Structure 1
Amino acid sequence: MKKQELIHLHGLLAELQSQFDAAGETVSEEYRELGVQPTSIHRSKTDHKAAVFALIHGVTDELEGDENTAETEAVTATAD
């Protein structure tokens, strides 16, 4: 993946994190500690990759936590 594509993905995930923050749920302290923002274009590709992985792990952990607390209902598989 090119650096520009990685920065774009970083921006999308950062937007997802801001949606979680608005809902009062903290996604990733690890991401905040890295200090790499999508607008930090001077940072290395490796730094952005680490930030993307931190965001992905934070989001998946948060979603897994929601899955355990929410009631799930079976949905039938139908095609439109």
Structure 2
Amino acid sequence: MKKQSLVYMHGLLVQIRNELRDCGDVPADAYGEYDERNVSPMSVHRRKGAHGEAIGLLGEGILRTIAHQRDENELEKRERPLPSRVDGWELPDQ
């Protein structure tokens, strides 16, 4: 893959990371390795391999974040009581 394509993909993954952050809780360790590398999509002077590594680390962090948010949503669903009425209609006793 060309460096330009890697930089573009890197930018897209950063946008996904930001959207996930805005949508819910992010595990503290999800992006630690990526942040330590200090390679951003704006770092066009960095070598092609650095962007490839950053893409891999971002992908792993995104997967961890999605799994974490999915698990939280499942817990919320289990803890939420079912409604006894919907739009004024009573549910029949069973």
TM-score grouping bracket, smaller chain normalisation: 0.7 to 0.9
- In structure 1, how many angstroms separate the alpha carbons of the residues matched to 2:68 and 2:22? 17
Which deviates further from its counterpart, 21-30 or 10-19? 21-30
**Which shifted more, 8-17 or 58-67?**
58-67
Deviations 1:17-48 (A, max 9, x none): 12233345254111110000001000001100
For 1:68, give the aligned amino acid.
D
Change (3 A) 1:42 1:51: same
Would you say the 8 A contact 2:26–2:69 is kept in 1?
A: no
* 1:70, distance to aligned residue in structure 2 (A): 2.3
Between Structure 1 and Structure 2, how many residues are aligned?
72
Relative to its length, the structure with more strand (as a share) is 2
Q: Which moved more, 1:4-13 or 1:61-70?
A: 61-70
Structure showing greater Rg: 2
Which residue matches 1:12? Answer: 12
- Pair 1:66-2:76 in alignment: no
Which moves more between the two structures, 60-69 or 11-20? 60-69
The amino acid that maps onto 1:49 is G
The aligned residue for residue 75 of structure 1 is none
Gap regions ≥5 residues in structure 2: 78-94
Equivalent residue number for residue 26 of structure 2 = 25
CA distance in 1, matches of 2:20, 2:73: 17
CA positional deviation for 1:16: 1.2
